[in-house]
Structure 1
């Protein structure tokens, strides 16, 4: 699972308390599964990843903001969930300065398996790029058609 490797490297590079003591961070999978289709060895990982940081000193924001930045680049669909909750966390306050914190993320990874003359080629695919479906309308604009009562009694397309 390559996303966990990139997440670890990102947190070590971005969070000073982890960079100074990387042994105080553990990343592991609580549960996972694999989805496949008949006739193909390609598959999708789906798993619950947990990040456990011991003795985190200072603001929890210094940990959560880098995780949000990593999600934006590596699992952007978590920002599109209806509840707008890309992860959950639990924390134990150890004293006025430090805490232990566990962050839980639901991650997926697409893996393509292709037959070649010399064997199988396994490729982890990048996250899909979300493109505009309507020319000239910015990505993320929610569109719906609705009747708007106005003086002319016309039908309009409304955005939010």
Structure 2
């Protein structure tokens, strides 16, 4: 993912990206070996902008079947949700809009 002349706060870019990864490629965030595959490079253009490059191995599950006319059709399948007890832990608090108030 390459963004040229980005002038915003880096959080404005990375938080939506992390939320997308949580919902579409959760193994990249949950598996320590796989999250090392997320690469980040930046080039500062000037005091206001930077070029940003995120590299990550993405996969998509696609089921291909033949319709009644024998034409191949692709169905894009959702990613399986993690089967770990902590799946509703800290990451879901960040990305599933769980808010709270301090006492």
Check whether TM > 0.5.
Answer: yes
Match of 1:105 among 43, 52, 56: 56
CA displacement, residues 64-98 of structure 1 (integer Å, 9 cap, x when unaligned)? 11100110011111012224446211111111221
CA contact (8 A) 1:79 1:86 kept: no
Q: What is the TM-score with the length of structure 2 in the denominator?
A: 0.70
1:89 to 2:40 alignment: yes
CA displacement, residues 17-50 of structure 1 (integer Å, 9 cap, x when unaligned)? xxxxxxxxxxxxxxxxxxxxxxxxxxxxxxxxxx
- Report the structure, 1 or 2, having the larger strand content: 1
Q: What is the TM-score with the length of structure 1 in the denominator?
A: 0.47
Q: Any unmatched runs of 5+ in structure 2?
A: 88-103
Match of 2:26 among 64, 76, 86: 76
* Deviation >6 Å, runs of 4+: none
- Report the structure, 1 or 2, having the larger helix content: 2
Distance 1:52 1:99, change over 3 A: same
Larger CA deviation: 123-132 vs 100-109: 123-132
Q: Any unmatched runs of 5+ in structure 1?
A: 1-50, 133-137, 141-160
Aligned length: 85
Higher relative contact order (CA 8 A, sep 6+): 2
C-alpha RMSD over aligned residues: 1.9
